[in-house]
Chains A and B, each alone.
Chain A
């Protein structure tokens, strides 16, 4: 994993005058371009109405890429975003920027013979990750397939029986496969999405321009877009958030499953795993030879989705 992928190592920028002069130049240049484009007035007028006032709006507009912020800038940014969330959602939340843990590469395995199609993972995911309730963004899709078929084109995405499992059917949950070669990352024109050192592909919601090229590039349909301004009832907001994962998003940006890095980087398990009543899900550090996930990978007949595309997913399926 390269240095670049690890934000801990890159955040420290020397605070000398040269840097600030460059900064000034940069800001002037940006401002000039924007003004020339005639966009400044609309942008600022639009953000002026937003919570936090004019200076916050300006700071948000000029906010740097996650990987380029210094420690100080990061602290200020997180505070500003928390402030904004408070005004918008009426709730105090915490936004952390916990870095990846050294020597950890996350992997997920799912036992399809245990999955019964309850979709508990889907609901738990929405609650944990603060998805927009209006457009009903879901990171996990459970397909219902004929028992003998693996043809997704014949799958039912919206099965709705009194009880599951339905006879003769099997269930196949799909979420972000956390590719080692993620096509979405290559596609993004502004590097708003990248793979972290622990193997998780993340998005800087404040850097994404919303072109949706990554969504076209993803073979697993894992990237979901905020078509409207996200709305979540205040009491349903999960206040424990991470900058790169479940913090409140804004309209016009992409989002995706991060294997709940706000939890897993602190040693907890993903919400979908905890919610699964059948124990179909196994999660862990694939670099740790004693982990359960390694046991599964070594002892079960595992397979991955669309392996022929060479995306090298870190999500395995098996049955027993």
Chain B
């Protein structure tokens, strides 16, 4: 009964909001609808409407999937201090962070779904009913861990929110085991996604043991950066008075992860370029182009530029300035999105295993569909964050 009231209050909260809120949601709805109509076109005509080809058979969808998995996993960087080390400053922002994890998880699943040639056969993936190639296929693993992680995150957030709603302290014996499980599965969603690529002997660009650690490091910088960005917005628009100390903590987490990520990247780049073998062809293509073909060069150098600028701001006192901090987060999110996506997924296919350099760039339809997915994800995040803030500020509670 109490739970039903909690749900009803939550839903009511979604429909409460000022002009800003409604214009934001309206904008997202429009973008989502544009995406949906573009998807309809793709659904009817097939994936020809994308820029993908037999040469580069994964594009911006799988690239976005890869970076979103990172953002989804990053919530544990807040969960750990809050619920393992009982850091009270982090605790108040943990539930919106879980909301972001849920939204990112859903978005990453949507990106896989829209990438399928036969989305109508999704059910073939269901264990027992379909034929799930487990444990052999890394993609099967990925589907599994993503679902487990999403499930756990939903359960934890609902439990924590519901407790707060009732005005009770969450029970350690309930949330602690869940939190531990969710930490493990957060690490696994990212590790398994890295294995998805690194397990391919056919693609030497991906076939490196450093891939999984790099994935984790980049996720733990870009994920919290994305979250911090939204926290700054919430503070600026006065919907959520986040304390300075919480922002400071987040900044520290981002800085450390960013440094580790750049170090790992540097190590990789060195190994690729010191002796250029046939195996460094993809890296050479990515950074400098091959045979006059240079589609990815601007992407990767902007990523390098963005990452380094972010690093500079984060290590200098500049970060105390809100504008600079916002910029740094933005740089980092975009920089890592490129590095993990267009800088990792796409060059793995170029040159092809038969040495052909065939370029890829996303089509307008692909861009529209991707924007649509982002819009849906942001809408979900807005809703989840709104409810959790309302509960946190005790605007809605059981009485």
Contacts and interface: CB of A to CB of B under 8 A. Distances in A.
A binds B: yes
Given A191-B133, A227-B52, A216 B121 contact: no
A253 B116 CA distance: 9
A159 B120 CA distance: 40
Contacts of B356: 155, 157
A187 interface: yes
Contacts of A227: 46-48, 52-54
Interface string A120-158: 000000000000000101000101000000011111010
B363 interface: no
Contacts of A278: none
Given A151-B355, A218-B202, A221-B353, A190 B117 contact: no
Interface of B: 43-48, 52-55, 57-58, 112, 115-126, 129-133, 136-140, 143, 196, 200-203, 278, 281, 348-349, 351-357
A64 to B, nearest CB: 9
A190 B284 CA distance: 35
A170 B115 CA distance: 39
A192 B124 contact: yes
A130 B113 CA distance: 28
A211 B114 CA distance: 10
Contacts of B139: 187-189, 211, 213
Nearest to A145: B355
A19 to B, nearest CB: 15
Contact of A30 (B123, B133, B352): B123
Contacts of A155: 354-356
Nearest to A251: B46
B117 A210 contact: yes
Contacts of B122: 34, 37, 39, 209
5 contacts: A152-B355, A215-B57, A219-B201, A223-B54, A227-B52
Chain A to chain B: the 8 pairs with minimum beta-carbon distance, closest first: A210-B117, A252-B117, A152-B355, A219-B202, A251-B46, A153-B355, A189-B139, A228-B48
A43 B54 contact: no
Interface of B is mostly: loop
Interface of A: 26, 29-30, 33-34, 37, 39, 42-43, 46-47, 61, 65, 68, 135, 137, 141, 143, 151-155, 157, 174, 183, 186-192, 207-213, 215-221, 223-229, 251-254, 306, 309
Given A192-B131, A209-B118, A309-B201, 9 more contacts: A39-B120, A154-B355, A187-B138, A190-B125, A212-B115, A219-B202, A220-B353, A225-B47, A228-B46
Contacts of A152: 354-355
Nearest to B46: A251
Contact of A189 (B58, B125, B278, B357): B125
B46 A252 contact: yes
Nearest to B281: A153
Nearest to A40: B120
A216 B123 contact: no
Given A217-B202, A252-B46, A252-B47, A211 B354 contact: no
Nearest to A229: B46
Contact of B130 (A154, A190, A208, A218): A190
B129 A211 contact: no
B118 A210 contact: yes
A172 to B, nearest CB: 9
Contact of B121 (A29, A209, A225, A254): A209
A30 B120 CA distance: 12
